[in-house]
């Protein structure tokens, strides 16, 4: 058996960054991956400005508490103040440019203004409440790196620099192949012995959550030619193909022979993880193809832990392997087996700082109710027998499925 970390590293390393780029306006950037380093073109703030509503003055003019200074001018954000005359103060507001000659700002709560004069109740130190030119971003400095997954914070930074668009990598095209005569699409009547195809919409939604284009879905009945045909079509049109089901040892496991018939190479693994043992990484016409196990919870775990790093590396992202968290097992019976167990858990605030991880009562690979419940997957290392209170690694879905 192949240990879990080796399988994960092999898949993460298979990703080759995307070819091509496109330029996209700010409102279409969330979830896209930056295709170039971005440098600042402006100093931000562009000039020294006030962090408070108050008065700009020379600290030396208010060294004695209770000093009273004439108010020379009122200057709002967006206006250019006159130079500050000696012994005077300029009324300003948050964001107002600091007048030449002023070296400090006193917030209005520490002053009293009456009849055009302001009394400074608390003597200010020099430099107080002044935001310096360029202290946030300075022109020509790197502000965003290629491979960054863009969100609201990055878009704010781009906009502040005057960029109204940015270069991004094209969205990854993923094809999903499901197999099995027992499967019927949702929305259609269910004959005896059939089940609805839940893996196709689940995997499509996982791919979209990772920023891929809406996947191309194909279903092949248990037939060698149909499987070959669907696989060839997906491989032709997509950057990555995921097949699900038919990866194990059954007599109708037709995906592997189809890959070989089409001239692909196949690396077949039995990964020491539960759920999710049968996984294969194939290469067909220079493009990767991953075979996932058909059991829905196995497909979900394999996608989350093994396929998502491959997708992130194919997307050209910097953060291929998301963080691993720590938590405390909240269990009533010992856990552990001969494979690394990835238990579907909910996390709650624990007493001692680390979160408390409660596994779902139904951990079977075929059961999927827990997928709509889980916050993450807690790892129980192969060979371990862990009791309540044991500290373990866990992968939050909110970290791994973006």
Ligand X SMILES: Nc1nc2c(c(=O)[nH]1)N[C@H]1C(S)=C(S)[C@@H](COP(=O)(O)OP(=O)(O)OC[C@H]3O[C@@H](n4cnc5c(N)ncnc54)[C@H](O)[C@@H]3O)O[C@H]1N2
Footprint on this chain of ligand X (rule: CB under 6 A): 178, 180, 182-183, 195, 197-200, 244-250, 253, 277-278, 293-296, 298, 365-366
Six-digit token string for 383:
């060979």
Residue of 88, 96, 243, 295 interacting with ligand MOO (CB under 6 A) = 295
Choose one: 122-130, 162-170, 270-278, 368-376; the region binding ligand MOO (CB under 6 A).
270-278
Shortest Å, Cβ 354 to ligand MOO: 28
- Indicate whether 178 belongs to the interface with ligand MOO (CB under 6 A): no
The HSE-up count of residue 179 (CA atoms within 13 Å, CB side) is: 28
Nearest to 62 by CA among 74, 53, 52, 54: 54
The item of ligand MOO, ligand X, none sharing an interface with residue 247, based on CB under 5 to 8 Å by kind, is ligand X
Choose one: 71-79, 213-221, 269-277, 314-322; the region binding ligand MOO (CB under 6 A).
269-277
Residue of 129, 154, 171, 274 interacting with ligand MOO (CB under 6 A) = 274
CB atoms within 10 A of CB 11: 24
Nearest to 315 by CA among 19, 9, 11: 19
The item of ligand X, ligand MOO, none sharing an interface with residue 337, based on CB under 5 to 8 Å by kind, is none
Q: Token match 């995307």: residue? A: 18
Shortest Å, Cβ 342 to ligand X: 13
- Indicate whether 277 belongs to the interface with ligand MOO (CB under 6 A): yes
Shortest Å, Cβ 27 to ligand X: 35
- Indicate whether 275 belongs to the interface with ligand MOO (CB under 6 A): yes
Beta strand 174-179 pairing with 38-39: unpaired
**DSSP sequence for 357-372:** EEE-S---TT--GGGG
Residue 92: strand, helix, or coil: strand
Q: Distance of CA 402 to CAs 96, 299, 321, Å?
A: 40, 17, 11
Nearer to ligand MOO, 147 or 276 (CB): 276
CB 113 within 8 A of CB 121: no
CB 266 within 8 A of CB 259: yes
Residue 392: strand, helix, or coil: strand
Nearer to ligand MOO, 118 or 203 (CB): 203
Shortest Å, Cβ 36 to ligand MOO: 40
Residues lying near ligand MOO in the complex (CB under 6 A): 274-277, 293, 295, 298, 365
């Amino acid at each position: 058996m192949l240990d879990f970390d080796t399988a994960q590293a092999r898949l993460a390393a298979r990703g080759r960054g995307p070819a091509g780029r496109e330029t996209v306006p700010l409102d279409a950037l969330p979830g896209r991956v930056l295709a170039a380093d971005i440098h600042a073109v402006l100093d931000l703030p562009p000039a020294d400005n006030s962090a408070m509503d108050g008065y700009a003055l020379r600290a030396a003019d208010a060294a004695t508490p209770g000093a009273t200074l004439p108010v020379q001018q009122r200057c709002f954000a967006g206006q250019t103040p006159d130079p500050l005359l000696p012994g005077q103060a300029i009324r300003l507001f948050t964001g107002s440019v600091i007048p030449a000659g002023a070296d400090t700002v006193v917030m209005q709560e520490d002053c009293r203004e009456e009849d055009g004069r302001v009394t400074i109740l608390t003597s200010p130190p020099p430099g107080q409440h002044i935001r310096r030119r360029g202290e946030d971003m300075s022109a020509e400095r790197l502000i965003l790196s290629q491979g960054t997954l863009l969100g609201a914070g990055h878009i704010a930074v781009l906009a502040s620099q005057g960029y109204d668009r940015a270069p991004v990598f094209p969205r990854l095209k993923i094809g999903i192949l499901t197999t099995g005569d027992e499967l019927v699409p949702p929305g259609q009547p269910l004959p005896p012995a059939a089940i609805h195809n839940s893996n196709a919409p689940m995997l499509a939604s996982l791919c979209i959550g990772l920023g891929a284009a809406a996947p191309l879905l194909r279903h092949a009945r248990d037939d060698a030619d149909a499987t070959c045909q669907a696989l060839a079509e997906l491989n032709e049109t997509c950057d990555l193909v995921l097949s699900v089901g038919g990866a194990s040892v059954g007599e109708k496991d037709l995906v592997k022979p189809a890959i070989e018939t089409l001239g692909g190479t196949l690396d077949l693994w039995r990964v020491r993880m539960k759920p999710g043992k049968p996984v294969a990484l194939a290469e067909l016409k220079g493009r990767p193809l991953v075979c996932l196990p058909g059991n829905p919870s196995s497909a979900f775990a394999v996608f989350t832990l093994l396929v998502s790093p491959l997708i992130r590396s194919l997307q050209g992202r910097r953060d291929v392997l998301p963080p691993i968290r720590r938590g405390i097992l909240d269990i009533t019976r010992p856990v552990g087996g001969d494979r690394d167990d990835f238990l579907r858990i909910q996390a709650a605030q624990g007493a001692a700082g680390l979160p408390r991880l409660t596994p779902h009562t139904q951990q079977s690979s075929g059961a999927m109710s827990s997928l709509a419940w889980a916050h993450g997957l807690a790892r129980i290392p192969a060979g371990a027998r862990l009791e309540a209170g044991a500290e373990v690694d866990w992968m939050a879905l909110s970290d791994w499925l973006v």
